Amino acid sequence: MDQENLAPLIEFIGKKFDQVDQRFEGIERRLDQVATKDELEAKLAETRRHMGVLVEAVQGEVRQVAEGVANVDQRLDGVEQRLDRFEEKMEAGFTETRAAIHFSYAQVDRRIQELEGNYAALNERVGRLEARRSA
């Protein structure tokens, strides 16, 4: 091959090398944008630290909620005990009231029977007096 025939081939190869160079430059630009292993490890370590701080904060909040629940539970126990005592007092009061009503009813019943007996006796006396008077 002579020089004349080689010129177009050299020009073609030169253009192809230029294209390859441009592609390499594009790849280099993209690689510059991609983080290195050290950068990724540093970012991962930073993320771990941040997550650790967040986890500690959440754990603190969970502890506070747990303490609040424990306090509410204690207060509910106190309310429950007071309610139990109140129910016992109410039941004792109802028992006393029932006993008083029963006793009063018995007294009223006795008095009514006594009055009925007195009424019958008086009615009988009035009947006898009227019979004597008409006789």
* Structure token pair of residue 32: 């510059």
Residue 1 banded pLDDT, cuts 50, 70, 90: low
Indicate the average pLDDT of the chain: 89
pTM recorded for the entire structure: 0.44
The answer to whether 87 and 79 are in contact (CB under 8 A) is no
**Phi, psi dihedral angles at 2 (to 5 degrees):** -95, 180
Displacement of CA 32 from its chain's centroid (Å) = 52
Least confident piece of the model among 14-23, 64-73, 76-85, 108-117: 14-23
Whether pLDDT at 134 is above 90: no
The answer to whether 35 and 43 are in contact (CB under 8 A) is yes
